[in-house]
C-alpha cells in the first residue's frame, strides 16, 4: 500500500502542473484529464466531449422529501450566467455569451454532502461505497464526501428526496443575481473565504469552515474545498443555444459538468462561472456534490 506521504507528493505535484499550465495560457477553458478512480489532476487537456443532440430536461424527483431545515432558499427569477469576453485567465470560450436567464424556485443544501451523511445512505443500501485509491486518507464525519461517481452522487440525492442541481441552478445559488465573479463578490479569494490550492491544504476542510465565503443566498463552499457534480451533460457551445428559462443542459453527452474548484485547484477554477467536465465514472479525492429540492 502506498504511503500517505507518497500520495500527497503525487497529488500536490499534479495540482502544481495544472496551475503552471493555466498561467502559461495553455488552458482552453475545460478541465484537465484525470485518469483512474481517485487520480489527481493531470497536466494535459481533456478530449473534446461528444456533441449534444438537443435540449435535456430537469430530472424528476423520484421520492420527494422535504428539504433539510437549513437548506438555502433560492427564489425564482433571473440571474446572469457565464462570463464576458475577458483576457485569459478569466475568459473561457465555453462560458460565453454572458446571458440573463431565469430558473424556478428551489432549495439547495447549504453545505456540501458530508461523509457522515453519505455513509448513512451506504448503510441503508441506497448508495455504493466510496471509490478511492488505497492511499487516500479516511474522511472525518463533517468533511465533504469525495471519491464518488456521478451515479453515486445522484443516488444519494434521490435517497435524500432531492436531485443534483442543474448547472444553471448551481450557478445562481453560487453568484446570486448580479453576475459576481466569486460567491462573495469580485475580489480574489483569501483562505478565510475559500480553500484553494493557494492555502496549502492536502484535504478538504469540514463543511461550514468558511462562512466568509458564503454566496448571497447563504450557501457555503461553492468556491474551493470540494468540486461538485451537477446534473448536466457538458457541451462547449451549449450556452448560446440554451433556453432562457430553466436550462437543463444537453440531452446527451459523455462528460458531466463539474463546478466550484477544490482545495487542490487554483482560484480560477473556483470562479462562479467556470465550467469543468469529467466522465461520470470518475471518482476523485477532491470531488463531491450537494443536492437540491423543489422550492420555494
Render pLDDT for 86-140 as a digit per residue (tens, 0 to 9): 555 445 678 888 899 999 999 999 999 999 999 999 999 999 999 987 767 789 9
- Confidence grade of residue 18 (pLDDT, cut at 50, 70, 90): very low
Mean pLDDT of the residues in the chain: 83
Taking the C-alpha atoms of residue 49 and residue 221, their distance in angstroms, rounded to an integer, is 27
- Confidence grade of residue 162 (pLDDT, cut at 50, 70, 90): very high
DSSP string, 61-129: -SS--PPPTTPEEE-SEEEEES--S--TTT--GGG-S-EEEEE--EEE-SSPPBHHHHHHHHHTTSSPP
Please report where in the chains the cell 424528476 appears, as a residue: 60
Question: Which whole-number Å values give the CA distances from 20 to 43, 93, 125, 189, 294, in the listed order?
Answer: 9, 20, 42, 19, 41
Quote the number of domains for the chain: 1
Cβ-contact 255, 49 below 8 angstroms: yes
* Percent of the chain residues past pLDDT 90, beyond the cut: 68
Least confident of 6-20, 26-40, 83-97: 26-40
Q: How many CB atoms lie within 10 A of CB 58?
A: 20
The burial of 258, by beta-carbon neighbours within 10 Å (0-12 exposed, 13-18 middle, 19 or more buried), is given as buried
- Mean pLDDT (whole number) for 162-181: 97
Whether the pLDDT of residue 22 is over 80: the answer is no
- Confidence grade of residue 55 (pLDDT, cut at 50, 70, 90): confident
Domain ranges, residue 201: 1-296
Amino acid at each position: 500500500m502506498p504511503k500517505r506521504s507518497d500520495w500527497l507528493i503525487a497529488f500536490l505535484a499534479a495540482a502544481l502542473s495544472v496551475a503552471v499550465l493555466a498561467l502559461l495560457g495553455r488552458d482552453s477553458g475545460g478541465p484537465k484529464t484525470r485518469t483512474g478512480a481517485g487520480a489527481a489532476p493531470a497536466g494535459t487537456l481533456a478530449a473534446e466531449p461528444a456533441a449534444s443532440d438537443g435540449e435535456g430536461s430537469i430530472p424528476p424527483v423520484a421520492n420527494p422529501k422535504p428539504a433539510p431545515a437549513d437548506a438555502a432558499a433560492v427564489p425564482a427569477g433571473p440571474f446572469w450566467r457565464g462570463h464576458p469576453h475577458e483576457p485569459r485567465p478569466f475568459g473561457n470560450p465555453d462560458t460565453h455569451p454572458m446571458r440573463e436567464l431565469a430558473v424556478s424556485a428551489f432549495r439547495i443544501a447549504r453545505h456540501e454532502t458530508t461523509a457522515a451523511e453519505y455513509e448513512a445512505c451506504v448503510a441503508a443500501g441506497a448508495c455504493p461505497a466510496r471509490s478511492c485509491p488505497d492511499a487516500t486518507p479516511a474522511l472525518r464525519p463533517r468533511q465533504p464526501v469525495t471519491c464518488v461517481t456521478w451515479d453515486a452522487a445522484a443516488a444519494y440525492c434521490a435517497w435524500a428526496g432531492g436531485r443534483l442541481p442543474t448547472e444553471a441552478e448551481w450557478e445562481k445559488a453560487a453568484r446570486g443575481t448580479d453576475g459576481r465573479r466569486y460567491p462573495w463578490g469580485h475580489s480574489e479569494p483569501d483562505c478565510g473565504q475559500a480553500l484553494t490550492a493557494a492555502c496549502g491544504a492536502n484535504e478538504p476542510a469540514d463543511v461550514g469552515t468558511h462562512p466568509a465565503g458564503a454566496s448571497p443566498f447563504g450557501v457555503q463552499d461553492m468556491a474551493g474545498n470540494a468540486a461538485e457534480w451537477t446534473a448536466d451533460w457538458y457541451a462547449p457551445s451549449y450556452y448560446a443555444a440554451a433556453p432562457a428559462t430553466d436550462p437543463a443542459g444537453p440531452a446527451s453527452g459523455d462528460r458531466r459538468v463539474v463546478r466550484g474548484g477544490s482545495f487542490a485547484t487554483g482560484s480560477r477554477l473556483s470562479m462562479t462561472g467556470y465550467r469543468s467536465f469529467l466522465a461520470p465514472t470518475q471518482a476523485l479525492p477532491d470531488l463531491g456534490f450537494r443536492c437540491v429540492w423543489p422550492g420555494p
